[in-house]
A and B are shown apart, each in its own frame.
Chain A
Amino acid sequence: MQDNLKEMTEDVLPANPDRSATHTMNAPHGDVHPAHYVGPHSGRRKFLGWFLGAGTLSVAGVLSIPLIRYALDPLTRTTTQTDWTDLGPESDFTETSIPQKRTISITQMDGWRKVISEKPVYVVKKADGKLTVMTSVCPHLGCSVKWVDGDNHFKCPCHNGIFTPTGTLVSGPPPRNMDELESRIVDGHIQVRYQSFRQLVTAKEVLA
C-alpha cells in the first residue's frame, strides 16, 4: 500500500527533465533561438514575474473594494421604520379594563420596495391604571394571540397558550409572557413603536 502510494506521488513516467525546453524546440512556428531565450533563472525574468503577480493582485484588490461594499450594502440597512404610530386618545383605553385590539400599519423597507403591512396590537390597562401596549404575536411560534372575553384571558389559537389580561403566561407552550411594545403618551394620545421579537426563547429579544 505504502509502495503504491509512493508510486502514485512520484514521477513514474520516463524521466523528462526539461519538458518546456523540448516544447520550445517543437514550437509550431518560429523556434526560439537559444541566444534569445531568456533563461528561467534570469534575475530579470524572476523580477518581472513577481512584479506582474503583485501588480495583478493589487489591481484586483483595489477593484474588489467597491464590489465588496456593493454586495454588503443590504447588511448596513435597517429594514423596519421605527416611527411612532398613534393609537388614539388615552381615554379610549382607560375607561375599560378589557384589552383593546388595534390594527396599525407599519412600513418596512425591502430593498427598493416599501412594504406596508398591518399588525394587530393590544392596549391593556395595568393594575396601577397605566396603559401598556402588547404585540399580538405569540412568543411561542408567532400565531396571533386572541382575547377571549368570556374567559377573561388571552388565548393563542394555535397551541393553546393562555395569558392573563396583562400578558403574563398562565399555561401552555409559550416560553415567556406576551411581548410589551415601547409606548408613550403625547398630547393625551397613546403612541406605539412596533417591533418584532425572537420566538421560542425565554428572554425577549428584538429582531432588527
Chain B
Amino acid sequence: MRHELQNTRFMRWLDQRTGIWHMTHEALDEPIPGGARWAYVFGSGLLYILLSQIVTGVFLAMYYVASADHAHTTVEYITKQVTAGSFIRSLHMYGSSAMVVTLLVHLGQTYFFGSYKGRREILWMSGLILFSLVIGMAFTGYLLPWDQKAYFATAVGTNIAGEVPLIGDWLKALMRGGTEMGTLTLSRFFVAHVFLIPGTIFLFVGTHIYLFRKAGSAGPINEDPITPKQKPEQFYPKQVLMDFVFATILIGTLGLLSYLSPVELGPKANPSDTQFLPRPEWYYLPIFQWLKYWAGAWAVIGIVVIPGVVAALLVALPFMDRKLERRPWKRPVASFSFAIVLCGLIFLGWQSGHEDSTDPAVAKQLVKQTEETETFMNTKFQPEMMGSPLLIAAPLSPEAAKGKKVFVDNSCDGCHGDNGQGTENGPKLIGVSLKFDHDEMVKVLHNPTKKMRDGNMDPVDISDEDMNLLISYLNSLK
C-alpha cells in the first residue's frame, strides 16, 4: 500500500519537501526485540488519553470562566445546560483518573520489568518529570469547578506546601496568590492547568518519545536492553494494531462511564463553611491518609523528608542499579521495595475509606455532603443576574430619580445608553461629574463643543429646573 502511494507524483513531490516517507518509516518500522506484545500498550495508551484530555479541555474552556465570581456558574452551565456538556466534562474528569492509573501502570511496569536499564537514565528521568507534571495537572484541575470539595481540597493541598521548611509560607502564598484562597488562586491554578503545565508536558512528551526511540524498545524481561538478541518485529502493523485496540477500549470505557454515570458538581464553594470535610480524588487518598500520621513538629518528616527521599531514590534508580539483569525474581531488593510501596499505598487508601466509614460523625457529615451535591444537581440551572449596575445598586436620591426621568424623556439614553453606560452612538456618562462641575455642565449641555456636535449631540433645551435635576442625576452616575 505504502509503495503504491509512494510512487504517485504528488507523494514524490511532497516527500522531496517534507521527508514524510522517511518520517513514516522511522515511526512505523521501529524494531521491537521479541515481537509485539500486549504488555507494551500503556505508553501509547497514555498518548491517546493525553489527546482526549487536550480536546475535551479545549472544549471545556469554550464556556468556562476562571474567576471566583463565575467559575462555578459556568461549570454548572456546562453540566446542566450545554448539549453534551456533562458528557464532555465527565470524559475530562474520568480521563484524568485514567491518566493517573495508566501512568502508574506504565511506571510500575518500567520499574518491575527493569526497562529503565541500559543507557536509559535520561529517558527514565524524563518519564518521572512527566509523572510529576500529570500529578500537577490533576491537582490544579481539581480546583477549577470552584465547588465545595474543590475549594476545601485545594485549601488542604496548598496548606501542605506551607509545611516545606523555610520557604513554606512563601510557597503557599505564591500558589494562592495571597495568604488566603480566593479568585487569584483560581486564576493561578487555571493558568498552570491550561498554559504552563501543558506546555511543559508537550516538551517532555517529545523528549520522552525521542529518547525512547533513540534507546530502542527494551523488549521482554529476559532481553539484553543494550544489544537485543531476540528476533525483532517491526512496530507496524502488529504493535500499532494492539495499541489501537487498547486505546479504543480505553476511550470506549471512558465514554461509556461518562455516558452512564456522569460526574457531579457540588454546591458553590462557601469559605465560611466550617463543617465541610474535604476528600481528595481517590488517587490522592493514600497520600491524604499518610499525612494524618504526621502531626506537629513531625510533619516536616512525613510531608517533605520521606517523599523527598522516595523521589530522590526514584531519580537515582538507573544510576544505582547498573546491572543489566531485568528479571524481577533475580532483583529481589527492587521487587520487594516495589511490592512494599504498592501494598503500603493500597493499605493507606483502604485505611482512609475505613476511617471515614467507622467514625459516625465523619460518616454522617460525608452523607450530608453527598446529599447536598445531589440536591444541587437536581436544581434547575440558575443564571447569574446582570443588570446595569444602577438597576441593582443603591436607590437614587429624589432629585436624581427625577433627573433620570428627564434623561429618559429627552432620549439621552438613546445614545448614552441605559443609566448612562454608553452605546456605540454616544460615550458613557458614568463619572462625568469628575470632568465638569455644575456650571460647566450647564454650559456644555446648552452649547455642546464642536466634538460633541460632530458626534450628533444636540443642545439640551430644557427648563433650568429640569437641567438641575438632570445634572443631579448625571452626578449620581459613578
Contacts and interface: CB of A to CB of B under 8 A. Distances in A.
The answer to whether A and B interact is yes
Interface of A: 9, 11, 13, 19-20, 23-24, 27-33, 36-38, 40-41, 44-46, 48-52, 55-56, 59, 63, 66-67, 69-73, 76, 101, 103, 105, 109-118, 120, 136, 138, 141-146, 157-159
Nearest to A76: B83
B85 interface: yes
Nearest to A45: B237
A-B complex: 8 closest residue pairs judged by Cβ atoms: A144-B414, A146-B411, A66-B84, A112-B77, A48-B237, A114-B383, A116-B387, A30-B31
Interface of B: 1-3, 9, 12-13, 16, 21-22, 25-26, 29, 31, 33, 52, 55, 59, 62-63, 70, 73-74, 76-77, 81-85, 87-88, 214, 216, 227-228, 231-234, 237, 240-241, 244, 248, 251, 255, 381, 383-388, 391, 408-411, 413-415, 418-419, 425, 456, 458
A59 B231 CA distance: 33
Nearest to A138: B414
Contacts, number: 174
A27 B29 contact: yes
Which applies to chain B's interface (DSSP): helix, strand, loop or mixed? helix
Given A101-B408, A136-B411, A157 B59 contact: no
A23 B237 contact: no
A111 B240 CA distance: 43
Contacts of A29: 31, 216, 227-228
B210 to A, nearest CB: 12
Contact of B415 (A30, A73, A76, A157): A157
Contacts of A118: 388, 391, 413, 418-419
Nearest to B65: A112
A4 B233 CA distance: 44
Most buried by B among A37, A109, A113, A144: A144
Given A112-B383, A158-B456, A30 B83 contact: no
Given A38-B234, A52-B241, A66-B88, A116 B385 contact: yes
B77 A111 contact: yes
Given A27-B29, A144-B414, A146-B414, 6 more contacts: A23-B22, A71-B59, A113-B385, A115-B387, A120-B411, A143-B414
A144 B411 contact: yes
Contacts of A52: 237, 240-241, 244
B3 A40 contact: yes
Given A11-B16, A112-B384, A71 B62 contact: yes
A194 B78 CA distance: 29
A19 B84 CA distance: 48
6 contacts: A20-B29, A32-B29, A48-B237, A111-B77, A115-B387, A143-B425
Contacts of A38: 234, 237
Contacts of B84: 66-67, 69-70, 73
Nearest to B241: A48
A144 B408 CA distance: 10
A114 B387 CA distance: 8
Most buried by B among A30, A59, A63: A30
Given A28-B216, A40-B1, A145 B414 contact: yes
A112 B73 contact: yes
A144 B88 CA distance: 44
A73 B31 contact: no
Nearest to A24: B29
Most buried by B among A24, A103, A158: A158
Given A11-B12, A29-B228, A73-B83, A109 B456 contact: no
B413 to A, nearest CB: 6
Nearest to B56: A67
Nearest to B411: A146
Contacts of A101: 408-409
Contacts of A37: 234
A144 B415 contact: yes
A9 to B, nearest CB: 6
Contact of A9 (B9, B31, B76): B9
